[in-house]
């Protein structure tokens, strides 16, 4: 999948400036003007391809951010010490408002939002589309914007995000976490409504296989809406959205939508992949992953033993993160195993505990564990649910978020005196 040159130009500007707020960025280029005022269907389709491709830029940095703070892993690097200082709060370190670990994922996500906004404008003005076809484009664009905003909000959390960014010359204000989540939920709903009235005539990557028509994209949209609903503690909404997604209690755990990678010319490789037993640039699993796992759990295979321990900055691990087993392995956007765990969480919160236990046992038995034998109480089952999310969704970007939303960050291990477990990233400096 090739990123389009107007995406690359915008993303490059954002990479070097570090955030969205770019004073001299002028989108009134011939390309942007054509794509918004008089596009062909092929130009719109190219923009869809570039926008989907752009979601992958800085994804590995995002996963390193949340995985390292969430003590799923360490990020050892011979060239970048901030992974073991700033990100872990080593000694007197703090998170830097100009640090690459926030400016890159933040900037690339907003660059992709800008592409999606161009797609919205272009689809609206394209004279070659039927109204039904137009809705397909706008539904996809709104879904993607909501998802990218949610990714950035996951990082900055209580510091908020910008939601109104359609005009880079007149950006909307930073809004609170709660207001941002409300906006994102509404945007997912708008995307669903457009897709329900639309048809899809544009190509998508293999990551959307099985979900590349309007009905399929609605299911992906509703799955992401369910994730957003649990972040908002809207339990009834989450259950409704699950019912309209691809949730299947007895279905494949790997069914879902994914970031796709390949070795094709112009495409991207999975930058999170590192071969086991490497040295230098590596992602060792946090020792607690293996220490805390139940005997017989097949998810231990996600963190295989190294032939020799890796050590850096007084941190040591004898296991590697090996969730993505090749440089073309897909990374989940959302998949059925997460949806089953959302279903369990909603039922715990609604005090329909037998249904929650059924869902948790679906996960446990799928991973070679016996059925749940603990207390059938809300507190015990919440702990069990978070435990299963820890192992099922390892290195998919959830543990830090999950413990934060349940006020359990204090449960994360601190490996060195003076280290910190951060609640959120600061806004990039130029956003203030």
Write out pLDDT tens, residues 76-99: 999 999 999 999 999 889 999 999
Mean per-residue pLDDT, 153-169: 95
Which of 158-172, 213-227, 283-297 shows the lowest per-residue confidence on average (mean pLDDT)? 158-172
How many CB atoms sit inside 10 A of residue 165's CB?
Answer: 18
* Of 17 and 35, the one with more pLDDT: 35
**Nearest one of 253, 288, 273, 259 to 364, comparing CA atoms:** 253
- CA 279 to chain CA centroid, Å, is 27
Q: The tokens of 378 are what?
A: 């809300």
Is the pTM here over 0.85, yes or no?
Answer: yes
Confidence of residue 246 (pLDDT cuts 50, 70, 90): very high
- Give SS3 for 22: coil
Domain 1-203: CATH architecture, name and number where available: Alpha Horseshoe (1.25)
Report how far residue 323's alpha carbon sits from residue 157's, in angstroms, rounded to the nearest whole number: 26
Report how far residue 226's alpha carbon sits from residue 56's, in angstroms, rounded to the nearest whole number: 22
Report how far residue 395's alpha carbon sits from residue 332's, in angstroms, rounded to the nearest whole number: 10
Confidence of residue 120 (pLDDT cuts 50, 70, 90): very high
Report how far residue 295's alpha carbon sits from residue 417's, in angstroms, rounded to the nearest whole number: 30
How much helix, strand and coil, in percent to the nearest 5, is found in the chain?
50, 5, 40
Q: How many percent of the chain have pLDDT more than 70?
A: 93
Asked if 86 contacts 418 with a C-beta cutoff of 8 angstroms, the reply is no
* Of 284 and 15, the one with more pLDDT: 284
- Give SS3 for 326: coil
pLDDT, tens only, 337-381 = 999 999 999 999 999 999 999 999 999 999 999 999 999 999 999
pLDDT, residue 33, reads: 76
CB-hemisphere CA count at 13 Å for 204? 23
pLDDT, residue 31, reads: 66
C-alpha triplet 236, 237, 243: angle, nearest 5°: 95
pLDDT, tens only, 21-79 = 333 333 344 467 778 888 999 999 999 999 999 999 999 999 999 999 999 999 999 99
* Of 224 and 26, the one with more pLDDT: 224
pLDDT, residue 92, reads: 87
pLDDT, tens only, 374-420 = 999 999 999 999 999 999 999 999 999 999 999 999 999 999 999 99
């Amino acid at each position: 999948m090739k990123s389009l040159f107007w995406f690359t130009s915008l993303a490059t500007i954002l990479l070097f400036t570090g955030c969205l707020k770019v004073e001299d960025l002028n989108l009134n280029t011939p390309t942007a003007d054509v794509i918004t005022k008089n596009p062909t269907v092929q130009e719109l389709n190219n923009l869809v391809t570039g926008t989907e491709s752009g979601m992958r830029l800085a994804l590995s940095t995002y996963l390193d951010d949340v995985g390292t703070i969430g003590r799923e892993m360490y990020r050892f690097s011979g060239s970048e010490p901030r992974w073991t200082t700033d990100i872990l709060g080593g000694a007197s370190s703090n998170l830097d408002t100009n640090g690459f670990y926030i400016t890159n994922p933040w900037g690339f996500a907003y660059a992709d939002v800008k592409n999606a906004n161009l797609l919205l404008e272009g689809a609206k003005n394209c004279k070659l589309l039927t109204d039904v076809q137009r809705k397909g484009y706008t539904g996809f664009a709104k879904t993607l914007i909501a998802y990218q905003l949610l990714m950035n909000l996951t990082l900055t959390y209580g510091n908020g995000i910008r939601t109104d960014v359609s005009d880079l010359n007149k950006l909307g204000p930073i809004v609170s976490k709660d207001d941002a989540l409300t906006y994102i939920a509404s945007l997912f709903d708008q995307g669903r409504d457009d897709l329900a009235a639309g048809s899809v005539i544009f190509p998508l990557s293999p990551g959307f296989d099985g979900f590349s028509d309007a009905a399929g994209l609605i299911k992906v949209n509703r799955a992401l809406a369910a994730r957003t609903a649990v972040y908002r503690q809207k339990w009834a909404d989450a259950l409704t959205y699950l019912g309209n997604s691809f949730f299947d209690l007895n279905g494949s755990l790997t069914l879902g939508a994914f970031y796709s990678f390949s070795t094709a010319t112009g495409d991207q490789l999975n930058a999170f992949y590192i071969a086991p037993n490497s040295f230098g640039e590596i992602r060792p699993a946090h020792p607690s992953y293996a220490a805390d796992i139940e005997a017989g759990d097949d998810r231990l295979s996600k963190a295989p033993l190294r032939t020799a321990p890796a050590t850096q900055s007084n941190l040591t691990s004898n296991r590697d993160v090996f969730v993505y087993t090749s440089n073309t392995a897909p990374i989940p956007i959302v998949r059925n195993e997460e949806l089953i765990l959302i279903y369990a969480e909603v039922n715990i919160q609604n005090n329909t505990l037998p249904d929650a236990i059924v869902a948790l046992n679906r996960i446990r038995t799928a991973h070679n564990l016996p059925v749940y034998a603990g207390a059938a109480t809300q507190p015990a089952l919440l702990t069990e649910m978070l435990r299963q999310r820890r192992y099922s969704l390892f290195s998919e970007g959830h543990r830090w978020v999950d413990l934060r939303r349940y006020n359990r960050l204090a449960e994360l291990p601190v490996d060195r005196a003076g280290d910190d477990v951060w609640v959120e990233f600061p806004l990039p400096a130029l956003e203030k």
